[in-house]
Amino acid sequence: MHRRADEGWIEVVCGPMFSGKSEELIRRVTRYHLARVPTQTFKPALDTRYAVSEVVSHSKLSTAAQPVRDSESLLKAVKEQTVVVGIDEGQFFDLGLIDVATSLAMAGKKVIVAGLDTDYLGRPFDPIPSLMMQAEYVTKSLAVCHRCGGPGLFTQRVVDSDELVVLGGGDTYEARCRRCYNPKKTHQQTWEMESA
């Protein structure tokens, strides 16, 4: 495959849970794959929610993905001939992902990273914000606010936990607009306040 070094770049797809980040990653990687451009997709080994060796969206789209422990193992697993490198759940990687994505792009690869830009408290969720600064292309996706149907910008945790990482789907998290989002409260507490 003909490839020039200046064809490498970084794309970031960010937003809250349910905003279609994985769907978009799958779409972007699949169109290259269908055109026989060599692709590889990775995910952090800790994300075992739906499948171990696939990226699966909430709408059940999927693509094969290799689970990797950290950014260093990701870099080692990228093959010389690979042109498109997809990475899902980028927020679960170490900060080394920034240098890894940069060197892959410098080597002429198209790096597409999907991930949460903010955590459940609305704080920057690195390495995604740092990757956004290094990226040629940034797409911010919005979900539909689970409470009011407005622009879902944040991820509201609806179970009680102070852990940064709590794996889960629709029973653990909701997408919320800026008005309905309250990082300090779980769904249950919000409901209790309103009905008091």
Write down the least CB distance from residue 45 to ligand ADP, Å.
Answer: 18
- What letters, b where the CB count within 10 A reaches 16 and e where it falls short, cover 156-169? bbbeeeeeeeeeee
The encoded tokens of residue 12 equal 């970031």
Rounded distance between C-alpha atoms, residue 37 and residue 31, angstroms: 9
Cα torsion angle, 46, 184, 16, 174, sign: positive
Is 54 annotated in the active site?
no
Q: Which one of 6-14, 35-43, 60-68, 137-145 is the stretch in contact with Zn ion (CB under 5 A)?
A: 137-145
Q: Which of 193, 191, 192, 16 is nearest to 121 (CA)?
A: 16
Q: How far apart, in whole angstroms, are the C-alpha atoms of residue 28 and residue 82?
A: 15
Contacting positions for ligand ADP (CB under 6 A) = 15, 17-23, 57-59, 143-144, 146, 152, 175
Catalytic residue, candidates 89, 136, 163, 174: 89
**Among residues 125 and 154, whose Cβ is nearest to Zn ion?**
154
Burial of 72 (0-12, 13-18, 19+ CB in 10 A): middle
Please list every residue from 14 through 73 that binds Mg ion, using CB under 5 A: 21-22
Which of Zn ion, ligand ADP, Mg ion, none is residue 140 near (CB under 5 to 8 Å by kind)?
none
User: Which of the listed partners (Mg ion, ligand ADP, Zn ion, none) does 185 bind, with a CB threshold of 5 to 8 Å by partner kind?
Assistant: none
CA neighbor of 64 nearest in space, from 81, 45, 41, 43: 41
The footprint of Mg ion on this chain (CB under 5 A) covers a number of residues equal to 2
Stretch that binds Zn ion, among 37-45, 103-111, 126-134, 179-187 (CB under 5 A): 179-187
29, 145, 153, 175: which one binds Zn ion (CB under 5 A): 145
Q: Residue 109 or residue 176: which is nearer to ligand ADP going by CB?
A: 176
Annotated catalytic sites, by residue? Answer: 89
